[in-house]
Structure 1
Amino acid sequence: MCSKAFCQDLFLPKKFPRIRPQFQQGNIGQSMKRRNLFEKRLNIKPYEYPELLEFKDAIRHSYWLHTEFNFTGDIQDYRTTISDHERHVLTRAMLAISQVEVNVKRFWGELYHYFPKPEMDDVGGTFAESEVRHKDAYSFLLEKLGLNEMFSQIQEIEPLMNRIRYMEAFMKDKDAGKGEFVLSLVLFSLFVEHISLFGQFLIMMSFNKYKNLFKGISNAVEATSKEEEIHGKFGIALYEILRDEHSELFTDEFFVELKTLADQAFDAEKDILDWIFEDGDLSFISKETVLNYIKSRCNNSLMVLGLEPPHDINPELLKETEWFDIEILSTKETDFFNKRSTDYSKKMKQITADDLF
C-alpha cells in the first residue's frame, strides 16, 4: 500500500512535475490573480497553466504511426505459429482493445468546452489526434488479421457492451454541470485511460516477452500504452488543480458516486478478463496475474484521489508483471531485430532486420 504522495510520484515522474497551487502573474503593476480553470481566456499568453503544456510535448515526442511498424511476421504468427487456445485469447484481447480505440474515445476533443483556456485546447487537441492514430492502428490490425467481421459483431458480446456502457456514461453530455463533468474527467482519466486497456496490453505484450512473437503488434501496443499513460497522468494533474481551485465541487456525495462508479467499472473490466480467458490460462500468463495487475493500477489510481485502496494485492503475482511497467514507463535501448523504439518520433518508414544491411 502506498501513500498518496508516493502514488503521485509513481504516476507523475520528474518530467511531469506535481501540480501545486499557483497564481497567475499579470503585467507589471497588476496584482496576483488566482487561477480559475473554468474561466474563459481569449489571449494565448501569458499562460496560466504552462506546466500542463508538458503533456502536449510528451505526446509529440512519442509520435508514431502504424505505418512505421512491420506486421508481416505477426500475420504469420497469428495464422500458423500459435495454438488455437493462444489465438482465442489473443483475438479476444485484440477485439477488447480495438472496441475502445475505434469506437469510444472522443473525450479529449471536448475539453475546451469546459476549460476554455488556450493551453487546454492545445493539450486536448493533441490528445484527440493521438486517439485518431490509435484508432487507425487498431483498425489496420483488425483488417490484416482478418477480424473485421468479428469486430462488427461486438454488440453481441455482453462483456464488451458493458464496457462501452460505462465508458459512455463517463463521457457526459456537453451540457453537464461542472460537478458532473469533473466526475467524468476523473473517471475517464483513471478507468478509460489508466486502467481499462492495460489488462489487454499486458496480455498482448506477453506473447512477445515470453515467446518472441507478434513484434509489430507489440510495438503498436507499447506505443499506445505509453500515450495512454500520459493521458491518464494529465487527468490526475487536472484533478489536483481542480481540488485547489474548486474544492466546493468535491463533496461527500461526489466521492460516494465516484466510488460507486469505480466499482462498477472494475467489475466490467473483470468480466472482460473472464471472457478473454474463458477457455483457461495461457502457459506464460494467467488470468489471476492480469487481474492482480489491474487491481494494483486501480488501487494506486484511487489513492491518488485520496480514497482507500479497495483491492488486496498478491505481491508475488505483481512481481511477474514488473517487466510490463518497465516497458511502458522507461526509456530504453532497443534491439532493432526485435522491436523498434517508441521513445522518440521516427520517419514514416517500416523497419525490418533486412533494412539494416
Structure 2
Amino acid sequence: MLFEEQIARKPNLYPWTQEFIDRIWAGFWTPNEFDFKADYGQFKTELTDQERQVIVRTLSAIGQVEIAVKRFWAQLGNNFPHPSMSDLGYWMAATEVTHNLAYEKLLETLRLGDVFEQNLKEPVVRNRVDYLRKYLDRVYTDDKKQFVYAIILFTLFVENVSLFSQFYVVLWFNRFKNVLKDTAQQVQYTRNEEMLHAQVGIKLIHTLREEYPELFDADLEARVLEESKVAYQAEKDLITWMIGDYNDSKISAEILHGFVQNRLNDSLHAIGFAVPFVVDKSIAETTRWMDEESYGNNIVDFFHKRPVDYAKKNRVYTTEDLF
C-alpha cells in the first residue's frame, strides 16, 4: 500500500518505478549541450517585432513555471514512504533542476533577463502561478485524500497541460519558420520529460485508486472538474497575452485555446474522470502535427538537429575547442 511505510529496499513493491527511472537515464541531457548563438542571431535578424514579442512572452511563461512550482516530486518519498518511490521522486526532481538551469541560460543568452522579470509582473502570468499552486491548498481534513487531490491537480495541470501551449509555439517556429534550432531542441527534451512525469503521476493515481478506492468519490471528481475550468481560463488568458493577434498557418490564440482544452480532456480521461470541454474537431486536425511529434517516433536530420530518443553528447563544442 502506497501510504504504508516500507523500511527495507527489497522487495521492490512497485517495480514499474525502475522502468521510469531507466527512461530518465536514457534521455539525460544538460544545458551545456547548447550555446544558442545561432538562435540569438535569428532572433535578432529573422523574426519580425511581433514574432519576437511572441517568443519573449512564450519563453517567459516557460521559465516562470519551471522556477515557480516544481518542487513536488522531490517530496514523493515523504508521502509514499517506499525506497522505490523516493528514488523515482529524486530522479524526477533532478530533471526539474535541469529545466530551471536550462531556461535561465537560454534567457540570459538571448539577453532577455530584464524582460523576463517585467513579464512576471503581468497579472495573467501571476494568475497562472496562483492556479498552478492550488495543489498546495488544503481542502480535505484527511491527509490521504488531500494528497490524492494534490497529485491529481499537479499531474494534470502542472505536468500535462501548463507548458504545452508554450512548447507548441516554440516548436511551430522551428518546424514552419526554420528558426531557433537549439531552443526547439531544448523544448523537445523538456516536453518529453514533462510527458514522462505526467505518465508517472497517472500511474500513481491509478495505483491509488486500486489500493484506496474509497478516496475517489463523486466529491473529488466534481472538485477536480471545477478546477479544470479554472485551469483553462488561466491558460486561455495567458495564451491571449502571449500570442495576441498573431495568426499564421496552424497557429493562433484560438487554435491554442482548443489545443489546451484537448489536453485537459485527455488528462481527465486518462484518470477515468469525465471530460468537460467540447472542442471543434478541426482544432484537433490542425494541431495533429504536435501530437505526432510528441507521441510518434522521431525522424532526425542529423545535420540539423540531434536525436532526443536516446543518450546524447553532454556539451557543445566550439571551433576553439576543436582547432
Q: TM-score range by the shorter chain?
A: over 0.9
Distance 1:305 1:123, change over 3 A: same
- TM-score normalised over the length of structure 1: 0.85
Q: Compare 255-264 and 118-127 and name the one that shifted more.
A: 255-264
Gaps of 5+ in 2: none
Q: Distance in 1 between matches of 2:175 and 2:318?
A: 19
Equivalence for 2:246: 280
- TM-score normalised over the length of structure 2: 0.94
Equivalence for 2:31: 66
Please tell me whether the aligned partners of residues 181 and 305 of structure 2 are also in contact (alpha carbons under 8 angstroms).
Answer: yes
Matched, 1:93 2:58: yes
Aligned counterpart in structure 2 of residue 109 of structure 1, from 74, 78, 83:
74
Aligned counterpart in structure 1 of residue 255 of structure 2, from 289, 292, 309:
289
Please tell me whether the aligned partners of residues 244 and 253 of structure 2 are also in contact (alpha carbons under 8 angstroms).
Answer: no
Q: Compare 200-209 and 258-267 and name the one that shifted more.
A: 258-267
Matched, 1:314 2:280: yes
Please tell me whether the aligned partners of residues 107 and 171 of structure 1 are also in contact (alpha carbons under 8 angstroms).
Answer: no
Q: Distance in 2 between matches of 1:308 and 1:39?
A: 30
Residue 57 of structure 1: how far off its partner (Å): 1.3
The 5 Å alignment of 1:143-292 reads: 143-171=108-136, 177-282=143-248, 285-292=251-258
Amino acid at match of 1:242: L
Root mean square deviation, CA, Å: 2.2
Residue 186 of structure 1: how far off its partner (Å): 0.7
Please tell me whether the aligned partners of residues 250 and 287 of structure 2 are also in contact (alpha carbons under 8 angstroms).
Answer: no
Amino acid at match of 1:149: D
Q: Deviations over 1:118-168 (max 9, x none)?
A: 111011000000000001110001101111112223442111111111122
Name the structure where helix makes up a greater proportion of residues: 2
Aligned counterpart in structure 1 of residue 44 of structure 2, from 79, 93, 109:
79
Q: Deviations over 1:214-270 (max 9, x none)?
A: 000000000000000000011000010000101111122211211111211111111
Distance 1:239 1:164, change over 3 A: same
Q: Distance in 1 between matches of 2:306 and 2:70?
A: 26
Residue 326 of structure 1: how far off its partner (Å): 2.2
Q: Distance in 1 between matches of 2:177 and 2:290?
A: 15
Q: Runs of at least 4 residues of structure 1 off by over 4 A?
A: none
Residue 60 of structure 1: how far off its partner (Å): 1.2
Q: Distance in 2 between matches of 1:333 and 1:282?
A: 25
Residue 80 of structure 1: how far off its partner (Å): 1.3
SS in 1 for 2:232: helix
Please tell me whether the aligned partners of residues 57 and 119 of structure 2 are also in contact (alpha carbons under 8 angstroms).
Answer: no
Please tell me whether the aligned partners of residues 174 and 180 of structure 2 are also in contact (alpha carbons under 8 angstroms).
Answer: yes
Q: Distance in 1 between matches of 2:37 and 2:129?
A: 31
Equivalence for 1:37: 2
Q: Deviations over 1:284-312 (max 9, x none)?
A: 51112222211111111111222222112
Amino acid at match of 2:30: L
Q: Distance in 2 between matches of 1:92 and 1:118?
A: 40
Q: Distance in 1 between matches of 2:153 and 2:250?
A: 32
Q: Distance in 1 between matches of 2:299 and 2:224?
A: 40
SS in 2 for 1:191: helix
Gaps of 5+ in 1: 1-35
